[in-house]
Structure 1
Amino acid sequence: MYPMKKIRKEFPVLAQNTYLNTASSGLLYDSLMDYRQEHDFDFLIGGSMFRESSSNFLNSVRQSIGDFFTCDAKNIVLTQNFSLGLNTVLQGLDNTKKVLILDEDYPSVNFAVTNKGFDVCCAKIDAKLEENIKAAIQKNRPDIFVFSVVQFTNGILIDLNFIKQLKSEYPNLLIIADGTQFCGTQIFDFKSSGIDILGCSGYKWLLGGYGNGFILFNDNILEDTTPDSYIQNAKETDYDPSYTNLKARFECGHLDTFSFGSLQYSLQFLSKTGQDIIQQNIRELAEYTHSKLTKLHLLEASVLKRKKHSSIFNIKGDQKLFNYLREKDIITSMRGNGIRISLHFYNTKEEIDILLDALHRYR
């Protein structure tokens, strides 16, 4: 378990900036940089011999992901990013099915659904998100529900107990979740979550850098969502199973051990730091920030009315305020109608105070 002061020294960006932008990109850190350099040095001196053990290595990456999120390694697919993985999942589903989405969800989620010809229905994202979803299901009887666990613009966090209950009430509803703005922020047991398929890119809260992601499938779901034609054609060929198995539809071509090794290294780094400590730090920071921004009347009503929230906030502000904050080395993002700030475990209350002081001076 690493002490927090030592951890912050791992991230050079934090020494020069008030970095409140993990929802846009997680940070590279010193020990991961060392790992990546060592990886490429081994490739440099080994060439093809370096790749001879790649299959076993990628299996170990799946196992690390499974250990971190409580999912059997055999049910884990590696993908370069969430969007590619989701599109592959949806390509394998019957597009005569009815799909429920959330009205202002991440474009990589909603466009992936709408451009494939599914019969689409929507639920509104507001303070009554879960009630809206339940009403939409009762009215439209969808076959599939696709959503982000955390909304990328304002940080609204869906109630995961609600999802578990939803699966209990509608066991035939295929539940597909985007965990990119969620995974790494709190301890998560996928196997008992009620979610059938969860995808995630590794470059945000998991600190894995770009070019890596994964999809978790609950038992039998990978086979159930693979087209019958694919399964039949695979049985009728003499190709090596690595080209025709159920995962090959997602993992076609060579996977990059540099990218997936980075993800594995960061999962181990987060585990050594302590998932419980990370969860607690993020929760305390989020509660502190929520309280302060509420007093300044900077949060939207839908966020204020919810009992629980993530560590992503969208505050009232325009391009001028965004530019002002950047001049003060406070790193945020313009999203929706405001400025998005996002907090990871390496942030501190002092950094939130720096933001608040800047907002006060701007006003």
Structure 2
Amino acid sequence: MLSKIHNAFPITKKCTYLNTPSSGLTSKKLIDFRKQYDNGIHTDYKKIDFLEDEQIDSLRTKIQKYFKAETAEIALLPSFSIGLNGIVDALPKHAKVLLLKGDYPSVNLPFEFRDFQIEYAEINENLEHNIDQKLERFQPDFIALSVVQFLNGIKIDLSFLQQVKKTYPHIQIIGDATQYLGTEKFNFDESAFSVIGSSGYKWFNAGTGNAFFIIDKDFLAALNPKSYGSNSLLTKPDGPFRKTGFLEPGHFDMHSLKSLEVALDFHYNEIGIESIEAQIKSLSLKAFNAFSKRNLLSNAVQKRKIHSCIFNLNRSEADLKKLLDANIVCAYRKNGIRVGFHYFNNEADLTNLLATLDEI
């Protein structure tokens, strides 16, 4: 399996790549597909447009399958940020929204620049308790949050969100799963989310320009959309509106969306999400213990019972340069070096990182 993965991502033979939280790698299979696709549309005009509808339907169906979202609607977009703005525009004005302080800007900004009543819960070792306290006092209509925090990898307890939904069934939960989906199994139909979205360029290794939203049908029916275009229609020029058409007003970027399909098929069919989850969790636990021993993690992260595969290490920007010079690819984010472990990483990558950190 390890040889297969390294052959699929040739760059892993040349460096220790720990920068998936910034951008996933592009597999050889995806690169080959893109070349074939580009050549194909220049030699066969039918591939440009005539098969678009069935290709889009195929991708929607696969997303429903891979994320156990059989009863949900699927919207396909260029990015998570575009999709969330479209959804936020369709929410009731002056609604009460609970956000997390310091969450990813593409989660918070769409709400902050519109007419909502907003309060914030702190992101720390007591994240769930902080949310609970806000729910009791603020009584929000919506909660919007990242499943995994981009800065330090703090992960919300999904069972806690299910309990929130039982206690406050009227609250609609909107999730950014860009740093989460693809790292472990996920069942939308059994989750607490009314809507969840993800860009494809990180943990799916699908390249840029593609994203999707999984939307509960009842949530969708209650929206008041503001964005429409020709592509919002089932048939042009005067057909009925598609249910997710307000999120897809313009033409589809088939090159990017087909790239997402190829990447998802490789992720879920060829590698398998069970194997991916096992590898990520095993390596991340070893990393957590090693980082804790070296006092590289914040107190908030060390005190939590659950964590993701993303870590922010208490080292300087000068140390980042030394890691990059040692062919260890990662990034500097808010006073620390951020690393993330995907299924193409292994214990040798962790050992290399630790040895280099110990030397500098």
TM-score range, shorter chain: over 0.9
**Segment of structure 1 superposing worse, 145-154 or 112-121:** 112-121
SS in 1 for 2:189: helix
Query: Is the partner of 1:325 in helix, strand or coil?
Result: helix
Is the contact made by 1:95 and 1:119 (CA closer than 8 Å) also made in structure 2?
Answer: no
Rounded to whole Å, the distance in 2 between the matches of 1:73 and 1:53 is 25
Q: Which residue of 1 aligns with 2:306?
A: 308
Take 1:350 and 1:126, find their aligned partners in 2: how far apart are those partners?
Answer: 31
Q: CA deviation at 1:48?
A: 5.3
Q: Does the aligned pair in 1 maintain the 2:71–2:189 contact within 8 Å?
A: no
How far apart in 2 are the matches of 1:47 and 1:240? 26
Deviation digits for residues 40-80 of structure 1 (CA, Å, limit 9, x no counterpart): 11111123553101011001011111111011376101011
Worse-matched range after superposition: 69-78 or 197-206 = 69-78
Aligned mates of 2:179, 2:315 — CA distance in 1: 22
Match of 1:267 in 2: 264
Letter in 2 for 1:355: L
Identify the residue that residue 174 of structure 1 maps to in structure 2. 172
| Equivalent residue number for residue 138 of structure 1 | 136
Letter in 2 for 1:189: N
- Contact (CA 8 Å) 2:226, 2:246: kept in 1 or not? no
**Aligned partners of 1:143 and 1:297: how far apart in 2?**
40
Q: CA deviation at 1:305?
A: 0.5
For 1:192, what is the secondary structure of its paired residue? coil
Match of 1:255 in 2: 252
TM-score by length of 2: 0.95
Q: Following the alignment from structure 1 to structure 2, what is the Cα–Cα distance between the partners of residues 245 and 281? A: 39
- The 3-state SS of whatever aligns with 2:264 is helix
1:87 aligns to what? 85
Change in CA separation of 1:64 and 1:358 when aligned onto 2, cut-off 3 Å: same
Q: 1:294 aligns with which of 292, 295, 304?
A: 292
Structure 2 residue matching 1:109: 3-state secondary structure:
helix
Tell me by how many angstroms 1:226 deviates: 3.1
Give the number of aligned pairs: 355
Partner of 1:44: 42
Deviation readout 1:98-144 (Å, 9 max, x if unpaired): 10000010011111110112111000000010010010111111111
**Which residue identity is paired with 1:263?**
L
Report deviation, 1:95.
2.4
Amino acid at match of 2:162: K
Q: Shift of the alpha carbon at 1:297? A: 0.5
Output the CA distance in 2 between the equivalents of 1:119 and 1:315.
35
Letter in 2 for 1:289: A
1:227 positional shift: 4.1
Structure 2 distance, partners of 1:181, 1:341, is 12
Q: Is the alpha carbon distance of 1:328 and 1:49 closer, same or farther for their aligned partners in structure 2, counting shifts above 3 Å?
A: closer
Distance (Å, rounded) in 2 between the aligned partners of 1:115 and 1:334: 28
Query: What residue number does 2:109 align with?
Result: 111
1:152 counterpart = 2:150: yes
Question: 1: CA distance between counterparts of 2:187 and 2:35?
Answer: 33
Secondary structure class of the residue paired with 2:245 = coil
Per-residue CA distance 1:30-49 (angstroms, 9 max, x = gap): 11111111111111112355
* Matching residue of 1:330: 328
Deviates more, 1:85-94 or 1:7-16: 7-16
Contact 2:86-2:227 at 8 Å conserved across structures: no
RMSD over aligned CA atoms reads 1.9
Where structure 1 has 5 or more consecutive residues not aligned to the other structure, the ranges are none
Q: Deviations over 1:312-348 (max 9, x none)?
A: 0000112101111111111111111211000100001
Within a 5 Å distance, the mapping from 1:1-363 to structure 2 comes to: 3-47=1-45, 49-72=47-70, 75-227=73-225, 239-241=237-239, 244-271=241-268, 272-362=270-360
- Shift of the 228–156 alpha-carbon distance from structure 1 to 2, 3 Å rule, reads closer
CA distance in 2, matches of 1:330, 1:228: 45
Report deviation, 1:224: 1.3
Paired amino acid for 2:40: D
SS for the counterpart of 1:59 is: helix
Identity %: 36
Task: Measure, in 1, the Cα distance between the counterparts of 2:308 and 2:211.
Answer: 21
